[in-house]
Amino acid sequence: MTTAAPLLSLQNVSKRFGGLSVITDVSFEVAKGARMALIGPNGAGKTTIFNLISGFYRPDEGQIVLDGVPIQQLPSRKRVGLGLSRSFQNIRLMPHLSVIENIMLAQQPHAGGLLDMVKPIALPGFRRWQREAEELLDAMGIDTYAGDVVATLPYGVRKKIEVVRALAAKPKLLLLDEPAAGLNAAETEGLTDFLKRIALTGVTLLVVEHDMGLVRKLCDDAVVLNFGAKIYDGPTATVQDNPLVLEAYLGPRHSKTASGASDQKGAHHVA
C-alpha cells in the first residue's frame, strides 16, 4: 500500500546563531490533516523551528518541504502563497481597526494587489473580499464581532480572531504559536473546541503549546525538542511516559521517580 506524502517535512534541519547551535539535525513529518504538537521545555527551540518553517530564518543545513515543494530558500510571502500561515503568541492584530478589516488584511496574498484589498472598503460595488471575510467569521462562529474595533474586545476573543486572520490566507498548514497563552481555563476550553472545528475543515495544524491539557485534547501526535534536538516523535497519549521527555522536564534525578509514579497513578503532566 502506498503511503501518502506528508504535507510538511523537515529533513536534517540545523540552525546556528554565531557559534551557538540552537537546532541540531531535526527531522520530522506532519501528515495532511494531522493535528500535531511541537513541545519541549523553555528554550528547547520550538519557536526557532516555527521561524524556520515560516521563513523568518533560513536553516544552515537541511531541507524543509511543504506539499512536495522545498521552501527553505523561499521568502515568507511565497510560503504563504503555497499554503502556509501562522498565528503568534503575542497578538499581532491591528487594534484600531475592526475585526472584519483585520481579516481582510490577511487576504492580501490572494488579492491582485493593494488596490484590490481596499476596494471593498472604498467602493461598495467591489465586495468580494469583504464577503469572503464575513463568511469566514460566520463559519467560525464569531461573526457577531465583525464590526467591533479589536481593542474593545476581550482577550480570549482576540485570540480567536488572530487564528481566523491566519485562516483568511486559506492555508493548507496552520502554525499556532502558544494559542492558549494568557487564557483562563474556560477560555482555553473554548479555544480547544474552536481549533478542533478548524481541523474539521481540512486544515493541518502544528501547535506549539505549554498547556498539556490543550495538547492532549487537540493533538494526536507530538514532537518533543530539548536543547534544539528531537527527543520524541510519536503519539501524544504516550509522550508523558517517555524517559527522555521526563528527564528533559524534570531532570535526571527526578525522572525515574516521576515515571514510576505515573505508572501507578496515571499520566504525569510534563508541562
Contact 138, 62 (CB under 8 A): no
pLDDT at 119 over 90: no
Say if residues 37 and 207 touch (Cβ distance below 8 Å). Answer: yes
- Gap between the Cα atoms of 149 and 93, Å rounded: 11
The pTM assigned to this predicted structure is: 0.83
A 10 A CB-CB count for 183 gives: 18
The partner residues of 38 in beta bridges, in order of sequence, read 208, 223
Q: Report pLDDT for 167.
A: 87
Q: What domains can you pick out in the chain, each with its CATH number?
A: 8-74+82-90+172-265 (3.40.50.300)
Q: How many CA atoms lie less than 13 Å away from 204 in the CB half-sphere?
A: 19
Identity at 89, one-letter amino acid code: Q
- Judged against a pLDDT cut of 90, whether residue 128 lies above it is answered with no
Q: For the segment 185-236, what is each residue's pLDDT rounded down to a tens digit? A: 998 998 899 999 999 999 999 999 989 899 999 999 999 999 999 999 999 9
Instruction: Give the pLDDT score at 97.
Output: 87
3-state secondary structure of 117: helix
pLDDT at 159 over 90: no
Top-confidence residue, 260 or 201? 201
State the DSSP code for 149. B
Burial class, 264, CB count within 10 angstroms (exposed 0-12 / middle 13-18 / buried 19+)? exposed
Handedness of CA 129, 100, 137, 77 (dihedral sign): positive
Partners of 176 in the beta sheet? Answer: 87, 207
φ and ψ at residue 33, rounded to 5 degrees: 85, 0
**From the CB of residue 181, how many other CB atoms can be counted at a distance below 10 Å?**
16
21: pLDDT strictly greater than 80: yes
